[in-house]
Structure 1
Amino acid sequence: MPTFNRILLCYDGTREGQHALKDGASLAQELHADVHVLSVLNNSAWMQGADITSAVPIDLITDSARSLLDEGLQKLAARGIIARGHFAIGDPLDQIPLLANELKVDLIVVGHRHSSRLARWWGGRSDGLLLDRVGCSVLVTMGPEIGPHAAVAGSSGAGETTRPVEHS
């Protein structure tokens, strides 16, 4: 197994980003790795809604995105991990590889959001491109989300099912 000395955790405040931060932090602690956190303000996402966002000052949007980075750094600090924060504006598929290559990281940790094929097609999602743009390993965290292999409601996850409570 390769040694991961420098890890880049991608954090955007979403549930998936929180899983990436948590899982990446656990790995970094075990490996005593140098940790960097990247938060990207995806300008293409808010440019598509330009009519709405034009009424919101850009400084407010940027400050909000920077506060997400601070939140991630504080969560790591609470676990005893000192990390360096990085903030970028642009497409995450451009910004993540750019910083990863600049920092010469050994591992990038990102969260995965489950979506249907239609949603990926409609949104123009091309998640696979990240792997083509970096020269290091990528850990994609799944988190305890509803997905094709998630436990069914009413199941304890250990092969046992619970009986529904009857109300009269």
Structure 2
Amino acid sequence: MSSFSRMLLVYDGTSEAQAALHRCSQLSLALSAPVDVVAVVDTEAVNASSGGLLTDVAYTHLKEIARNTLSDAVSHLASIGIAANGYVKYGRIADVVARHAQTFNPDLIVLGHRAQARRWWSGRPAHADLAERLCGTTIVTVTLASA
């Protein structure tokens, strides 16, 4: 029996998240572990990048995109026989994932990462914050091969 009983995938539909979904699928099948998929609407970062002018219409659009993206990931997992639950959550990615992890106790967290220039509103990468906050939880950070 595997020591991993539950997995958490952070999914936003980007190429890196799709690579993380693929890796999570492989791990879930190998470990017979169910997956929670979390799509995060990070309104703080979006609001900062839009100069603080995030409208209700834009916020509603972000929520709808997150729901559709989440549905795609959960449907993909279900189509290959993986038990998956989906959650749309709101806030900073590291905060949301840490709260979810404290509530649902995943043994393994899988997320995509894109190396990019740091911006004043983006802060540290989510996986760096999570590694400090969630001692004892395995974090798999999936990146894309350089072109």
Shorter-chain TM-score: what band? Answer: 0.7 to 0.9
Relative to 1, partners in 2 of residues 1:75 and 1:144: Cα closer, same or farther, differing over 3 Å? farther
Q: Deviation string for 1:125-155 (max 9, x for gaps)?
A: 3122111111311011123343xxxxxxxxx
Per the alignment, residue 81 of structure 2 pairs with 80
Higher Cα Rg: structure 1 or 2?
1
The higher-RCO structure (CA 8 Å, 6+ apart) is: 2
Which 4+ residue blocks in structure 1 deviate beyond 6 angstroms? Answer: none
What is the total number of aligned residue pairs between the two structures?
141
Once the two structures are TM-superposed, the CA of residue 62 in structure 1 deviates from its matched residue by 1.1
Which residues of 2 match residues 24-103 of structure 1 at below 5 A?
24-48=24-48, 49=50, 50-51=52-53, 53-54=54-55, 56-103=57-104
Q: Structure 1 vs Structure 2: percent identity of aligned residues?
A: 31
Name stretches of at least 5 consecutive residues in structure 1 with no aligned partner. 147-168
CA RMSD in angstroms, aligned pairs only? 1.8
Name stretches of at least 5 consecutive residues in structure 2 with no aligned partner. none
Relative to 1, partners in 2 of residues 1:39 and 1:55: Cα closer, same or farther, differing over 3 Å? closer
- Using the size of structure 1 for normalisation, the TM-score is 0.77
Residue range with higher mean Cα deviation, 125-134 or 29-38? 125-134
8 Å Cα contact 2:114/2:144 also seen in 1: no
